[in-house]
Chain A
C-alpha cells in the first residue's frame, strides 16, 4: 500500500495528541508535587522542591502506608501465585471428574465484582477477629487473584509441550517434579506476568482495605492517600507528592516490563 507523507504526518499528529492528553494530568500532579508548599516558600524560589517528598513521607505518614502495602502485596502475590500455579497445573494437564464445573467456579470469581461479597465478608471476618489485621486485608485479595491466576496458568499449561511431559514421565519423574523442574522454569514469562498483575491489582486496591480495616490499623498506600486528602488541607504540594509516591512503584515496574502488563491485561480478558 502506498502511503503518502501526509498520511504519515497525520499519524504522528494523532499519536502525539493522545500522548499529550494522557500525560497532561500526570504532568499536572508531578509539577504540583515539585512546587512550593506555600506562598511564602514560593517567594524564596528555589526550583524543584524535592523536600516535598521527604515531608509527605513523614508528615503524611506515607512511610507507614507504603510498608503496609508492601506487606499486603507480598502476602497476596506469594499465596495467589503459588495456589494458581498448582491449580492451573491440575486444570491444564490432568483429567479428573468435576474439572469442568470446578473451573467454571473459578471463572465466576473473575467476573463477580467485589461489591457482591464485601458486606458479609466484613461481618464474618469481624466475628472471627480478622478485621484490622494484615490477613484480613490480604486473604480476600488473594482469593480474587487466584480466580484470574488459575485461569491464566491453566492457559499456560495447556500450551506447554506434551512431548516434554511424556518424556519426563517415562524417565520416572513424578507429577510434582515435572511441575517444579520443567514446567515452572519454562513458564517463567507467564508466571512473571501473573506476579506483576497481582502486584499491581493489590497495590492499587482500595475497597477491600477500606472495608477490612475500619480502624486504620492496616492502611495501604491508596487508602493513606485518600485519608491524607481529607486530613491535610494546607496547600496541594504534599498531597501531590504523596500521590506520586503511591503511583511510583507500579509505574517504575511498568516502564521496565510494560510488555507483560499490556499482554497480560489484554490476553487475560476472559473470553470463554
Chain B
C-alpha cells in the first residue's frame, strides 16, 4: 500500500525528506479528522448508549440496533426511502436512457443550451425546489388549477395532505431534479459510441430496438452505474425536501430515515437510537453503492 500511486509512472520523490508528504497532508487531515472521521467513530460509540442529550448515559449494548429493527415507525421510514429510490433513480434512469437514445440518433444543434437547462435543477437549493413544489401542489395551486381547467376537477386533491398521494408527490419532485442529470450523463456516454457500431448493427438487419439493447445499453454501463450511485444516495438521504414540504406527514406517511434521525436526536432526545439509525443508514448506502459498482464493473 505504501506506493499505491500509479506505480512506475509517479515514482517521484520531490524531496529527500520523508516527512514532506505528511506535511502537505496535515491541514486536510486535521480538519477532516476532527470534523468528520472522529464524529463517525463517536457515532458508533453513541449508538451503544441510551442518552437523552442532557443527563447521564447508560451503556445498553446492541439495544438501540434491536430497536431500529423493531420500531414500526423507523422501519416505515426506511420503506419510504426505498419507494423514493424508484422516483429518484429508476424512473429518471428509464426516461434518461430513452430520451438520450432518441436524441443520439442524429446530431442536434443547440444541444449545449438544452443541456444547461436540463441540468439546472441540480444547482438550485433543494429548499427552493421544495418551496416551489409546495406552491404547485397547494390545494389552490397550479396543479389543481390546471386539472380544473382541463375539466378534470374530480382528480384534484390536497397533494401534500393525502395519505396515498403525498409520498409519490414528494417522489416526483426527486424525479424532476434527477432526470436532467441522468439525460446529460447518458448523452455524454452515448456520444462516445463509434458510429460504425450502429452501421454494423444495421447491416445485420437490427431495428432501433435491437440496436438499443445490442449496442447502446452495453456501451453506457459505466454511466448507468454513476447515475444510479448518485441518485440512490440522494434518495436515501433525502432530508430538506421532506422537512420543507411535509415534515413526514400527513401522519407518518412521508417520514424518511434522515428526518427520523433529526427528530429522534434533537426533538425527542433519544440520542443513542438516532446515532444507531445513522449507522444503519450509512451501511445501507455503502452496501447499495458497492453492489451497483460491482455489477457495473463486471462488464
A interface with B by C-beta (< 8 Å): 1, 3, 7-8, 10-12, 14-15, 18-19, 21-23, 25-26, 28-29, 32, 79-80, 82-84, 86-87, 89-103, 105-106, 109, 111-124, 139-140, 142-144, 146-147, 150, 158, 162, 165-166, 169, 174-175, 178, 200, 203-204, 206-207, 210-211, 214, 221-223, 225-226, 229, 236, 239-240, 243-244, 246-247, 250-251, 254-255, 258, 261-262, 265-266, 269-271
Contacts and interface: CB of A to CB of B under 8 A. Distances in A.
Nearest 9 Cβ contacts at the A-B interface: A100-B4, A100-B1, A117-B39, A120-B42, A87-B28, A143-B35, A175-B14, A83-B28, A204-B125
Given A113-B285, A143-B34, A158-B5, A90 B121 contact: no
B75 interface: no
Interface in B231-289: 233, 236-237, 239-240, 243-244, 257-258, 261-262, 265-266, 271, 274-275, 277-279, 281-282, 285-286, 289
A250 B2 contact: no
B143 to A, nearest CB: 10
B28 A150 contact: yes
Interface residues of B, number: 106
B87 to A, nearest CB: 15
Which of A1, A243, A261 has the most chain B CB atoms closer than 10 A to its own CB? A243
Nearest to A144: B36
Contact of B106 (A11, A84, A211, A239): A11
Nearest to B283: A116
Chain A contact residues: helix, strand, loop or mixed: helix
A116 B281 contact: yes
A247 B125 contact: yes
B121 A120 contact: no
Given A11-B103, A115-B281, A122-B266, A99 B120 contact: no
B224 to A, nearest CB: 12
A7 B105 contact: yes
B11 interface: yes
Contacts of B222: 271
A229 B246 CA distance: 12
B5 A19 contact: no
Contacts of A11: 102-103, 105-106, 108
B13 interface: yes
Which of B36, B116, B198 has the most chain A CB atoms closer than 10 A to its own CB? B36
Contact of A119 (B24, B31, B278): B278
Contact of A28 (B125, B135, B181): B135
Chain B contact residues: helix, strand, loop or mixed: helix
B121 A22 contact: yes
Nearest to A245: B128
B27 to A, nearest CB: 5
Given A22-B117, A86-B24, A117 B10 contact: no
A269 B37 CA distance: 21
A232 B115 CA distance: 36
Given A1-B106, A121-B39, A251-B123, A19 B117 contact: yes
Contacts of A97: 2
Interface in B125-161: 125-129, 131-136, 142
A22 B178 CA distance: 10
Contacts of A90: 21-22, 24-25
B39 A120 contact: yes
B289 A111 contact: yes
Contacts of A25: 129, 132-133, 136, 176
Contact of A3 (B2, B105, B233): B105
B25 A266 contact: no
B15 interface: yes
A99 B118 contact: no
A244 B123 CA distance: 13
A270 B292 CA distance: 12
Nearest to A270: B229
Given A87-B27, A94-B21, 20 more contacts: A18-B183, A22-B117, A22-B180, A23-B120, A26-B124, A92-B5, A109-B37, A111-B233, A111-B286, A117-B40, A117-B278, A118-B39, A118-B278, A139-B34, A144-B36, A221-B125, A225-B125, A225-B128, A247-B128, A251-B124
Contacts of B20: 94, 175
B282 A115 contact: yes
A146 B40 contact: no
B36 A109 contact: yes
Which of A122, A210, A262 has the most chain B CB atoms closer than 10 A to its own CB? A262
Which of A15, A158, A162 has the most chain B CB atoms closer than 10 A to its own CB? A15
A121 B261 contact: no
Contacts of A244: 128
Contacts of B25: 86-87, 90-91, 102
B293 interface: yes
A162 B12 contact: yes
B32 A95 contact: no
Contacts of A150: 28
Contact of A226 (B22, B36, B180, B243): B243
